[in-house]
Amino acid sequence: MGRIHNIEGKKNKMDSLRANVFTKHARAITVAARNGGGNPDYNATLKLAIQKAKADNMPNDNINRAIKKGTGEDGGANYEQITYEGYGPGGVAMIIEVLTDNKNRAAGNVRYYLDRNGGNLGTAGSVSYMFERKGLLLIAADDKIDEDALMEAALEAGAEDFVTEEDGFEIITAPNDFAAVREALEGKYEFVQADITMLPSTYTALDPSLQKQMDKLLDQLDEDDDVQNVWHNMEM
């Protein structure tokens, strides 16, 4: 599965930008705590944000500070969530989600990255119809994994679909069932990714001559503190 290989490569690259990664996680935790309270047992969004932060080895002190900022115990900026839609090089559809304390800066940066790399910013709804919000769990291939047992456990926990690929397993859930499926598999399997995501319904094959341009665009978006998530329909 190209998706697993791509995500593992991205994680290795992001390890070298750890401060940037922690900043993104802190913002997500702060906003989740602000919107739903500081107890992850009663705030599924906060619980997922904390799980993602811990997966990237974010220290507990950082996590706790971010929660306190969200609940108002420790001040902090007021972040706004904004979603941009547009196209990358070669007509690749993109959804870019930001958490920012300066929406003019965020909008200007996103537009600049797209324009400089052969893309363009679109209007609301211009590409989102090509994506569907789903829970996604990716598990890398391992000789120790019993495929039938994994599939049975995932489907019994509420997964919608189970796909076996060359380099691992892809488990898709409805957003509301994601937490239950993750909890059923956690501890038994190691996740390459476990997140609520936007899955494309169609894919765009990118001309090889545009791949470097696309890679540069994704790098610039990754390195921007305001950008939280980037989804696209580039065929892997």
Residue 24 pLDDT: 93
pLDDT tens column, 142-201: 999 999 999 999 999 999 999 998 889 999 999 999 999 999 999 999 999 999 999 999
Query: What gap in Å lies between CA 165 and CA 97, rounded to an integer?
Result: 28
pLDDT at 64 over 90: yes
pLDDT tens column, 157-170: 999 999 998 889 99
Residue 1 pLDDT: 45
Domains of the chain: 2-71 (1.10.10.200), 80-129+202-232 (3.30.70.980), 131-200 (3.30.70.980)
Q: Which residues contact 12 (CB under 8 A, 6 or more apart)?
A: none
Q: Please state, rounded to an integer, the average pLDDT across all residues of the chain.
A: 91
Residue 72 pLDDT: 86
pLDDT tens column, 32-55: 999 999 999 999 999 999 999 998
pLDDT at 75 over 90: no
pLDDT at 231 over 90: yes
pLDDT tens column, 217-229: 999 999 999 999 9
Residue 55 pLDDT: 87
Q: What is the DSSP string of 68-110?
A: HHHHTSS-----EEEEEEEE-GGG-EEEEEEEES-HHHHHHHH
Question: Which residues on adjacent β-strands are paired with residue 204?
Answer: 234
